[in-house]
Structure 1
Amino acid sequence: MLDRLNQTMEHIEDHLDQVVDVAELARRAATSEYHLRRMFSALAGMPLSEYIRRRRLTVAGAAVLAGRESLLDIAVRYGYGSGEAFARAFRAMHGVGPGEARRTGTALVSQARLTFRLTVEGSSSMRYRVENRTAFTVVGLKTRVPLVHRGPNQAIIDFVRGIGTETRERLEKLSDQEPRGVVAVCDDLDPSRAEGTELDYYQGVITSAAAPEGMTALPVPAGTWAVFTTSGPVPGAIQELWRDVFTEWFPSNPYRSRPGPEILRTRMAPGGAEADAELWLPVERDTAAKR
């Protein structure tokens, strides 16, 4: 998998002055576009589109300082429809406009080329199981929240606090399938998974019952799920589990992510600082994987 990702990185470098087709990148990585975007974001710490943009502006910055081409020619070569659009993007990354950078020779920001390598730690293992599930329904309360990679998500905290005890008890009585009890469900995430992009967030249950008045139903088709468990401080342990799944488990196992909701069951320890958590992710066999 890492070899294929590095070949994909080479293809990006060779086409920075052209339209980079994500479908072609996924083909070279021998995976789906969906999984490539999610895998890259987890490994690189930024969305694939952001990496490509920053690499373009890095090499464009070198061309600006070299002074052999007009600024408009550089803008067009790296995919900007006008000098103004190029100047805005250039300033957003480098903190200075291209004209000023050329006149003053000021220092610019450089996005390094990414290369993926395997780091062997060997002392940790992940607890997981794989389940094939028939179709089911998530029933609960829904809101739209921003994605937060690290630290508390205040929008989720405020939403959960606003759910009354009576409503939560009604929800719990509807739960009749695993994972049991009230769960957190994330759906309709932006493919980039960039910090601040929005997603649908549910406090709900897995059930065969119809949604009561005032609640929302999310039908989930049959499919395969990878189920991971962890224990530790919240939210850090859960956020680290999600990261480790994509940086360690997927590259080591013949599965890839598929579209679908992510389900988290959390059981808080006394005091509320730590929890036992179970993370359900939709997956499918990676038929291109060579194991």
Structure 2
Amino acid sequence: MKYKIIERDRFKVVGVKRELSCENGENLTEIPKMWADVHTDGTNDLLIKVNNGEINGVLGVCAEKRGTQVQLMDYWIATEHTGETPEGLLNLEIPASKWAVFEVHGAMPDAIQKVWQQIYSEWFPSSHSKHAGTPDLEVYSSGDPWSPDYYSEIWIPIK
């Protein structure tokens, strides 16, 4: 698993979100459906158009809802944006963090799900890092996300 450590000041993302259950892997089937929806309804094209921050691409933002009885998360499909929030989109501030940025190579959604599993089953147990408790990012670059050569990243906030 190739990764690098970077630091970023806080930044804003804009996009759409859904509350999803993580029980029984429900999020693993619902997230790909959400991506299909944003590609169909034009939201993905809008996000590409308003992307004007340092991160070039469309983001999947995973924000766990801690302290709830059931395991819930807000999943955002968003992009980094400076300025006013475009009509029809919501905004979320991502706190300043140190990030472990993992490379992902391969077709979606299998490649990214495999790297997520490796991060939690291999990297965290062997590293000296702890999750910072703020949102994780999936960074999707331009290109064909179903190509075996597709490149994306997972950003984990660490402390």
Q: In structure 2, which of residues 1, 6, 13 is the aligned counterpart of residue 138 of structure 1?
A: 13
Q: Point out where structure 1 has 5 or more consecutive residues left out of the alignment.
A: 1-125, 285-291
Give RMSD over aligned pairs.
3.0
Identical columns (%): 28
Paired residues for 1:1-291 under 5 Å: 126-147=1-22, 153-163=28-38, 164=40, 166-190=42-66, 197-267=71-141, 270=144, 272=146, 274=148, 275-284=150-159
Deviation track 1:128-157 (CA, whole Å, cap 9, x = no partner) reads 111110010111011112227769834223
Q: Point out where structure 2 has 5 or more consecutive residues left out of the alignment.
A: none
Report the TM-score, using the length of structure 1 for normalisation: 0.47
CA–CA separation in structure 1 for the residues paired with 2:11 and 2:90: 14
How far the C-alpha of 1:200 sits from its partner, in A, is: 0.5
Contact 2:106 2:146 (C-alpha < 8 Å) held by counterparts: no
Contact 2:9 2:97 (C-alpha < 8 Å) held by counterparts: yes
Report the TM-score, using the length of structure 2 for normalisation: 0.80
| Inter-CA distance 269–177: structure 2 relative to 1 (3 Å threshold) | closer
CA–CA separation in structure 1 for the residues paired with 2:73 and 2:57: 22
How far the C-alpha of 1:280 sits from its partner, in A, is: 0.4
Q: Which has the higher strand share?
A: 2
Secondary structure, aligned partner of 2:87: coil
Q: Which has the higher helix share?
A: 1
How far the C-alpha of 1:204 sits from its partner, in A, is: 0.5
CA–CA separation in structure 2 for the residues paired with 1:226 and 1:270: 25
The structure having more radius of gyration, on CA atoms, is 1
| Inter-CA distance 266–148: structure 2 relative to 1 (3 Å threshold) | farther
